[in-house]
Amino acid sequence: MRVDTATLMLALGMIAFVGSHLLLSHALRAPMVRRFGQGGFMAIYSLVALGTFSFAVIAFGKASPAPQLWDGQGLVPWVIASLLTLVASALFLASLVGNPALPGTDVAGLSTRLPRGVFKVTRHPMMSSFALWGLAHMLVAPSARTIILAGGVTALAVIGSRGQDAKKVALQGNEWRTWMKRTPFLPNPAAFGHLGLYWVGAVPLWMLLTWAHLKIALIPAGVWIWLDQY
């Protein structure tokens, strides 16, 4: 199968995005913070992430959407993808409150706490939300360009979560080791009920994002695949 130039550019963009993210988050973080300060490092980090991901998104728009590995436009793939992105919305909202995995969070006494809410689902709710987003897109649009872009985001989320665990253990030792024993790495569907009121906020967020998907990408997502027909 012949690969078009835009798809190759997309692959290079995602390699740059994922690779630079992992390097700046781990190996290069400490020396760059010493050299440029925390504010300077975050500015560089943000510019690199924005630049590499923007390059990938532009290439994605130019890459061919065909061929696809399977037909993702049927009812079953769309229902599964809609559920995955709804769960991702709830996890993302929950990750913004009291998340010890976020950089710079004080985890003193974490080993004495029992997980509650979203942390009964996963200790990496934000990364899990990104991974589920990527899986949903690959399910309904299994083309080379989607697998590269969404697959890259999913891979970064999983690898980044592992990297967060390793970094937290190095910095906080027993505090994070104990937290790891009490919380699941992968999302536990049996614990989704612990998301509580975040489900209430997830529905309008999911509706807004899927509506924007239709308006920006010109592809209906979620319930808009049916509502757009009326």
Kindly report the number of other CB atoms within 10 A of residue 215's CB atom.
Answer: 8
pTM: 0.89
Residue 35 has pLDDT above 80, yes or no: yes
User: Cα(83)–Cα(87) distance, rounded to whole angstroms?
Assistant: 6
Determine the residue type at 221: A
**Average pLDDT of the residues of the chain:** 90
Kindly report the number of other CB atoms within 10 A of residue 80's CB atom.
Answer: 15
Determine the residue type at 102: L
Residue length of the chain? 230
Q: What pLDDT shows up at residue 1?
A: 46
User: Cα(187)–Cα(122) distance, rounded to whole angstroms?
Assistant: 5
Q: What pLDDT shows up at residue 115?
A: 93
Q: Is the pLDDT higher at 15 or at 227?
A: 15
What tens digit of pLDDT does each residue of 165-216 get?
Answer: 998 888 888 899 999 999 999 999 999 999 999 999 999 999 999 988 888 8
Residue 124 has pLDDT above 60, yes or no: yes
| Nearest one of 116, 82, 80, 77 to 97, comparing CA atoms | 116
Q: What pLDDT shows up at residue 214?
A: 82
